[in-house]
Amino acid sequence: MDFTTVMQELETLGKERIKKTYISNGAHEPLFGVATGAMKPLAKKIKKNQPLAEELYATGNYDAMYFAGIIADPLAMTEQDFERWIDGAYFYMLSDYVVAVTLSETTIAQAVADKWITSGEELKMSAGWSCYCWLLGNRPDTEFSSNKLAGMLDQVEKTIHDSPDRTKSAMNNFMYTVGISYLPLHEKAVETAKAVGPVEIRRDKKKSSTLLASENIQKELDRGRLGFKRKYVRC
């Protein structure tokens, strides 16, 4: 299936209601408004196709960029490719749910995420923290250094309230993910979340929202989900 056909298929799947939702979350034209679930049959036909993924991502069309993440071959991508993708990710649904997810399926994930976390750029930092969430929620605990993750929890405690909003959100999710999915630091993550307390996120044209990782960790514990790992990262 070639680029033109895929773009036509995506346009056909677009819904005005979904388009409005995406725009309210930060997407802008061009986009069609395709529900992620509606992309699955198309993705099954194509499977992995990195050259096509690159063509789609380069369009700047949100739906095409999202679909690019679904059919990308992460192991065929270099660090430079990921830098190009994160530079093109203009809002959090691309940085955290396309680029970070794709990166999390590579062997260079932690090294690239570490650089992004220290970049000082809101969406790069957000993608870096989010990548760790995807990694921790999927890979065995033995693949991580508990000393390194403990240091990252300390960094969250010290800096989260002064960080940009999207980065705050990803850092908050990191505390929660460590607390549920990484058993060696469960207790430290709970302590950190309690010390951090409520995290206020300001949203353009919307009311501010408050995140509370300690409460969310407790809810998952009550559901018996301590140690939860996803089978797959990408849909």
C-alpha to C-alpha distance for 96 and 200, rounded to whole angstroms: 19
Show pLDDT as tens, one digit a residue, over the chain (235 residues): 899 999 999 999 999 999 999 999 999 999 999 999 999 999 999 999 999 999 999 999 999 999 999 999 999 999 999 999 999 999 999 999 999 999 999 999 999 999 999 999 999 999 999 999 999 999 999 999 999 999 999 999 999 999 999 999 999 999 999 999 999 999 999 999 999 999 999 877 778 899 999 999 999 999 999 999 998 887 5
Residues linked to residue 199 through DSSP beta bridges, in sequence order: 211
- Check: CB of residue 201 under 8 Å from CB of residue 209: yes
Query: Which amino acid makes up residue 182?
Result: Y
Burial of 96 by CB count in 10 Å (0-12 exposed, 13-18 middle, 19+ buried)?
A: buried
